[in-house]
Chains A and B, each alone.
Chain A
Amino acid sequence: MGITISGDGSLRSFNFSGSLTFRDNAAFTAALAELDKAAPGPLTFDFSGVDYVDSFGIGLLVLANDEAAKRGLTLHVLNVQPAVEKLLGHFGLVEDLRVNRPMVGGAPSAQHHALEALTVSPPRVEGRRVVVALSGQFTLGTQSAFLPVVEGLTALTRGQTCVLELGGLDFIDSSGVSMLLSFHDQATRAGIATMLDGPCGRVKEMLRLSALDTVMFVTERG
């Protein structure tokens, strides 16, 4: 497992990658020591790169949540992959650990703060392609903004391609991924091809980790 600490200098955003298991005791203990340097407020564990957690790892998360609370910090475990979220749900920890729940009262970094909405551009027709640009955050809380795109599929004709430009999208969670999959399924049934264009950063990584890039056609910008 890898842990990096980032954010706006307050050491309140921890990014995890790999597996969180009984082998990660030392790395996690060192990370917990960093909590003493954080001012009270929200604390995020970004789990977008975590694909496996065992019961030892769950215990470490519960301990981190308790230790954060003692220091006036509110832990949010974000970008949790579906399999890991299911596991946490099995033990009734989704609420306790505020899994994938948007932060209330201020995010830990300016980056998160500025991207709490999903913006969908008007459709742009380019020959047989209809292009829609998404920007901001694609989450459970913002996915309703995408519904008109799904409903708009009925206006397309068989053989057309619907392109979603994702270059302006900074964050997507499992709900957003599910919505994209539903969009793809519905388009396929209608004989319409789909394409995800230009995902970058964490969005690109999430598409890879969720294997959505094996289902939908993804193009990258140079």
Chain B
Amino acid sequence: MAAAVHVLDTGTGERPGLPAGMTWDDDGGCDTRLLFGAADALAIARGLTAPYQGFIERCGDDGSGFARAAAVVRAGGLVLSLTTRTAYRLDVTRLIADGARRRFHLSEAVAGRLEQALGEAVANAVVHGNLGLSSEFRQSVNGLARFGQLLSERLDDPVLCGRRVEIAVQPGHGALVATVTDQGAGFDAAHLAQHGAAAGGKCGRGFVLMKSVADRVAFEDGGRRVRLSFAGALAP
């Protein structure tokens, strides 16, 4: 049986129930791997620095993301589970790319590719996934203003902004594998793959960019999860 994954609660308040194989660790002992609490850049960066392997934002939900986070920890990876509001407000991509660079001894070039790909994936998860905003607005100044208005309204919606964005980076089959998962309605990934970005278009380049910096890009769970693979990224 796998060893329990210990979680340190860095704040106060109600704790969600933990799934089997996880336990609260009130003194932050050497076995603690995940931090749980209110999210700010410092807390997230701490959670991504050894000996910790991730950070889970307190949000008053049922804690269903803990089991997924534990699986990433057991696989030796790094994981973030954040609300949409936090993923929008903070540059979490840079934080986890920095954490991955340290943990997996990535070269600057690989860390840069990881940051670029994760940046696109997190943007998609926040804007299109959890907030359900279309890029079609972004074709004109007026459309951009409308887009901004809707973005602001939806970030104030407690249901939408409380949806989670989960980011994991872990070794897998000799490659570095990053996944970004949202809780939105999903989308037709096959359609996306068949239609590239128009040369003068204002949107549609995110998927192209992910494909250009990652060795493999795959969508799962109806488009709610993107899996990015970086072959040869891990030191032998």
Contacts and interface: CB of A to CB of B under 8 A. Distances in A.
Interface of A: 19, 21-23, 25-26, 28-29, 32-33, 52, 54-56, 58-60, 62-63, 66-67, 83, 87, 90-92, 96
B138 A63 contact: yes
Contacts of A54: 116, 119-120, 123, 206, 209
A91 B197 contact: yes
Given A58-B205, A62-B201, A22 B126 contact: yes
A21 B92 CA distance: 12
Nearest to B119: A54
Contacts of B200: 62, 66, 96
Given A21-B119, A55-B205, A59-B138, A29 B148 contact: yes
Contacts of B152: 26
Smallest CB-CB A-B distances: 7 pairs = A55-B205, A59-B202, A55-B206, A22-B123, A54-B119, A25-B148, A63-B202
B166 to A, nearest CB: 18
Given A54-B120, A90-B212, A62 B151 contact: no
A206 to B, nearest CB: 19
B127 A32 contact: no
B132 interface: no
Given A62-B202, A91-B205, A56 B123 contact: yes
Contacts of A91: 197, 199, 205, 208
B116 A29 contact: no
Interface of B: 88-89, 91, 94, 112, 115-116, 119-120, 123, 126-127, 135, 138-141, 144-145, 147-148, 151-152, 197, 199-206, 208-209, 212
Contacts of B139: 63
A59 B197 CA distance: 11
A32 B141 contact: yes
B209 A55 contact: yes
A32 B144 contact: yes
Nearest to B199: A92
Given A29-B145, A87-B209, 11 more contacts: A19-B91, A25-B144, A54-B116, A54-B123, A54-B206, A55-B206, A55-B208, A59-B138, A62-B202, A63-B202, A91-B208
21 contacts: A21-B91, A21-B119, A22-B123, A25-B151, A26-B148, A33-B141, A52-B115, A54-B206, A55-B120, A55-B209, A56-B127, A60-B138, A60-B144, A63-B140, A63-B141, A63-B144, A63-B202, A87-B209, A90-B209, A91-B197, A91-B199
Contacts of B89: 23
Nearest to A36: B141
A63 B209 CA distance: 18
Nearest to A28: B144
A84 B137 CA distance: 25
Of A19, A29, A66, A83, which is in contact with the most chain B CB atoms at under 10 Å from its CB?
A29
A60 B140 CA distance: 10
A56 B197 CA distance: 12
B190 to A, nearest CB: 20
Contacts of A32: 141, 144
A28 to B, nearest CB: 8
A4 to B, nearest CB: 20
A58 B212 CA distance: 15
Nearest to B146: A29
B90 to A, nearest CB: 9
Contacts of A60: 138, 144, 202
A94 to B, nearest CB: 13
Contacts of A67: 141
Nearest to B151: A25
B119 A29 contact: no
A92 B88 CA distance: 28
A96 B199 CA distance: 10
Contacts of A62: 200-202
